[in-house]
Amino acid sequence: MVDPRVIHSITIEACTGFLLLAGAAVIVKLGSDWWMRNLRGRVARFDRWAIAASRFAEPASYFALVAGVIATFVSMVTGSLAWPADQLAASETVRNKILITTISQSLFIGAVVLRFHYRFELWMTRGTGVAFAVLVLSGTALMILQNSVAGHLAGKGSLIDDFLQWFGINTHPMWAFPAWASLTILVAFPLAAAAVGLGLRRQARRLGPAPSPSGGTNTAG
């Protein structure tokens, strides 16, 4: 019989790989769009590369994001089966990992919901594209921190321990958010979602109705 800890390690690697790919693809998308918006026409070869990269990065980021969110839920299940519940509850480091995983997963799910609802038009305005990118990249940064905590749980340490020490982050004691930070997190996402929706509606009104194949405009009735 396969050790549940081995299965958990596999699922962790899967979700980490997908979500890192999503973050990298978002960075490529931002860079490509910035080039086409600010430097288009200066170097024809770079223009072609930017267009190709943008077309690939957008669907790749969405696919990797969805796959990573699903794989993270699977890793939560395999992790709960790999160790006894009382052992998990007694460890402050485990609680830190659960805390970070919950926050990062919430950010990733928020990004998936935004992309699913607004589709590719999410990138049509600078503000909404940046908001989506902030969700994905913030979740990616928290996921890296989460994996550092997991390294300590496995007794292997972490490659970014020195980096964390610069910021005074200790992965061993239990963390707790102050009340103001918890309220900020609770309120920030609905406000951000509303801002994204208003930005997209404003962009749609500015562009006007889409032209029909006959050369007119599409109108109801």
**Within-domain flag for 41:** yes
Most confident among 74-88, 135-149, 157-171, 191-205 (mean pLDDT): 135-149
Structure-block tokens of residue 208: 């006007």
Structure-block tokens of residue 92: 């402050």
Question: Which pLDDT tens digit goes with each residue over 5-58?
Answer: 778 778 878 888 899 999 999 999 988 888 888 888 888 888 898 889 888 988
Question: Which pLDDT tens digit goes with each residue over 165-204?
Answer: 676 666 555 555 566 666 676 677 667 667 766 766 776 6
Q: How far apart are the first and last CA of the chain?
A: 64
Cα(58)–Cα(100) distance, rounded to whole angstroms? 26
**Within-domain flag for 91:** yes
Cα(140)–Cα(112) distance, rounded to whole angstroms? 14
**Within-domain flag for 185:** yes
**Within-domain flag for 136:** yes
Buried b (16+ CB within 10 A) or exposed e, 163-179: eeeeeeeebeeeeeeee
Tokens 């790919």 belong to: 21
pTM of the predicted structure, to 2 decimals: 0.71
Cα(137)–Cα(108) distance, rounded to whole angstroms? 9
The upper half-sphere exposure of residue 64, i.e. CA atoms within 13 Å in the direction of its Cβ, equals 20
**Within-domain flag for 178:** yes
* C-alpha 179: how far from chain center: 25
Residue 27: which domain range?
A: 4-207
Choice between 51 and 92, residue whose per-residue pLDDT is larger? 51
Cα(119)–Cα(54) distance, rounded to whole angstroms? 15
Cα(7)–Cα(82) distance, rounded to whole angstroms? 8
Structural domain total, the chain: 1
**Within-domain flag for 220:** no
Cα(67)–Cα(47) distance, rounded to whole angstroms? 30
